[in-house]
Structure 1
Amino acid sequence: MTGTGAMRLNSKGQVTIPAEMREKYGLHPGDEVDVIEVGNTLQIVRRESSSTRGQRAIQRLRGSATTSMTTDEIMGLLRDE
């Protein structure tokens, strides 16, 4: 099986998906995933209805821009600063 690696389950039942796999599959902080049981295995899949990172940024920014904002202020909003 390719793309597998040992991951440790923490006390809260959480695992960390390695950075290489997150990059390969385009997973970003805030993405919604489902854990699906298939036979004797668990699969992690991105939710079909999950908004993308860009869509979430747009939703946060919607209605917040003014003509008096500087480029630095706008970039700060985009970076969650």
Structure 2
Amino acid sequence: MRVTTKGQVTIPKPIRDHLGIGPGSEVEFVATDEGVQLVAVKENLSEEEKLRRLQDVLDRMEGTLDLGGMTTDQYMEWLRGPREDLNVD
């Protein structure tokens, strides 16, 4: 399947039917070592399940950003530029 110029793909009907995906449904694309996984978001998840899923995503992201030894503040200044509201003349 191809990605459109708008970044869209069509989920084949058998997969939509299998996952219970219909108009207005929410899905997530989860990066894995093998590629990507499509997950239908269930709207009535327990708080524990939501936290577990968030922790899974955070665990997969750990170590993926190399700041080259910069602190968080240094990185944010590099990313955004200096904050003029903090400059003291």
Structure ID, larger Rg: 2
- Alignment TM-score, normalising by the size of structure 2: 0.44
- Alignment TM-score, normalising by the size of structure 1: 0.48
Pick 1 or 2: higher relative contact order, CA cutoff 8 A, min separation 6: 1
Higher helix proportion, which one? 2
